Structure 1
């Protein structure tokens, strides 16, 4: 292409930086190339000179110089096409769909993303739920392989950035249901224990680490109890650490039923209760890019529903519980523990800075 090109900014790109627009739509134009075009006055927006950091608005016209000669690029590996059965399967999981978002009810046993020896996962199936769009949906958060329930997907680049911001800002609200071994002494409590990767596990397992762990906070509320044998609880993570709910419940002596990784043999019940993990992402509430709220609830997998029935619980009891997001007020001891954890984090960061300076 030897001619000057012109592009009109679409609604999905309203408000983003100009260099971000290039990354989305003309990735072959590197940041250095775009910066050179800006310095020499070749890059313009609505006729005016523009810089890579400028914000653009929907409807504006971007003037782009002719494309520069392409360098030989490594051939990208293409994803194999989905079979009709795979497409039917992933589409059957969709429980919400609009112009910006999809929500699926992920079954237990299906990983969110691939990894070592993991070839069947949600990310590999996303081509099957593009529907009327040309781009595949994007994952904006994850669920453990054995955790079931609501999984939010962004259908546009704008929605992906919007949802990511809300997840990182902790404004997204996720409600989980779990069956746990035994019954917590306090019906409504907060678990505030720092978590870190457990050494020697290759990052596959987390543990409570008062010295090096990152601040982690979860709320739990008992919905119903089966004597002293088990309890049905509602869980809300207030931070987003790996395996957070599983580690926190095991740490207070009430591992999630079926979670042998963190509860060992004590995490299983007899009497016909499934050995699968009983942790389900029941509901997600988050601001929607087009305004209003996205609020979606996912039905239970069969093994979880059957276990509730076996223990004499009625599903309606869980949905009848108030869904407020506010955690109970912190006790004086909890406030002191939070302050200690923060101080440890600061000391750790300072030690790291001193090491870097000494090496330099």
Structure 2
């Protein structure tokens, strides 16, 4: 059993701090996934919780789970209606020009036998909007706060490359895949830092996930 940090819990919702490297669905090649632990995350409830949104395998941080079908439908609707506030921290592998801005680049999915699938900016793609702000710079890297207002696949990863001019550190698809450990392959350095989900008639779901050790080890200074 992974000892998940529970960031929020009530009768209809659970927010966990998903560790980097854990996919939500069972990989085709086998191996562990979040599905293996959903029954353990019931904590006495009748049903295992269900993920409301997606986080890539490499992405750590806030993941919302619904504890019943009605809650799943409501929370999914809030994401679709863009009512959910999502904050991500990403390590960009380069010195980003400027201090803040908005990336408005529609995205489309392409696929090839040689390279597999990926997302690309495309005028006729699905709308995608990300607001960003530089938090710190160190050793040629930039720590950026991303606030995606849409939820497209790989949105922050491709917006970093196409909108800021540099891929996220460790990204094997849009970057060179190299991490901080002597240029060895590392995980994509993206962390779902905070999540706020409004709810009618009750307090919103709010959760904050602490900076993971691998990003903290890079020595950025975070605002208080």
> Is TM more than 0.5 here?
yes
Aligned length: 222
* Residue ranges of structure 2 left out of the alignment (5+ in a row): none
Per-residue deviation, 1:225: 1.2
Task: Return the index of the structure with the highest Cα Rg.
Answer: 1
Greater per-residue helix proportion: 1
Is 1:249 matched with 2:160?
yes
State the alpha-carbon separation in 2 of the partners of residues 302 and 179 from structure 1: 13
Given the alignment, which residue of 234, 238, 243 partners 2:149?
238
Per-residue deviation, 1:199: 2.7
Residue in 2 aligned with 1:22?
none
Determine helix, strand or coil for the equivalent of 2:62.
strand
* Residue ranges of structure 1 left out of the alignment (5+ in a row): 1-85, 321-360
Given the alignment, which residue of 76, 83, 87 partners 1:175?
87
Greater per-residue strand proportion: 2
C-alpha RMSD over aligned residues:
2.2
Distance 1:157 1:270, change over 3 A: closer
Residues 313-336 of structure 1: CA distance to partner in whole angstroms, max 9, x if unpaired?
A: 234x1xx4xxxxxxxxxxxxxxxx
Distance 1:110 1:270, change over 3 A: closer
Residue in 2 aligned with 1:219?
131
Given the alignment, which residue of 207, 212, 215 partners 1:296?
207
| Equivalent residue runs for 1:1-360 within 5 Å | 86=1, 89=2, 91-200=3-112, 204-210=117-123, 212-226=124-138, 229-252=140-163, 253-264=165-176, 268=179, 275-288=186-199, 291-307=202-218, 309=219, 313-315=220-222, 317=223, 320=224
State the alpha-carbon separation in 2 of the partners of residues 111 and 161 from structure 1: 22
Per-residue deviation, 1:235: 0.3
Residues 274-329 of structure 1: CA distance to partner in whole angstroms, max 9, x if unpaired?
A: 8322100000011136511111001122211112x2xxx234x1xx4xxxxxxxxx
- Report the TM-score, using the length of structure 1 for normalisation: 0.57
- Report the TM-score, using the length of structure 2 for normalisation: 0.90
State the alpha-carbon separation in 1 of the partners of residues 116 and 131 from structure 2: 24
Determine helix, strand or coil for the equivalent of 1:254.
coil
Q: Which has the higher contact order (CA 8 A, sep 6+)?
A: 2
Residues 224-256 of structure 1: CA distance to partner in whole angstroms, max 9, x if unpaired?
A: 1126x1111100111111000001101131211
State the alpha-carbon separation in 2 of the partners of residues 113 and 205 from structure 1: 19
State the alpha-carbon separation in 1 of the partners of residues 83 and 126 from structure 2: 19
Distance 1:292 1:183, change over 3 A: same
Contact 1:100 1:289 in 2 (8 A): no
Residues 180-211 of structure 1: CA distance to partner in whole angstroms, max 9, x if unpaired?
A: 0222222111111111112316973211122x
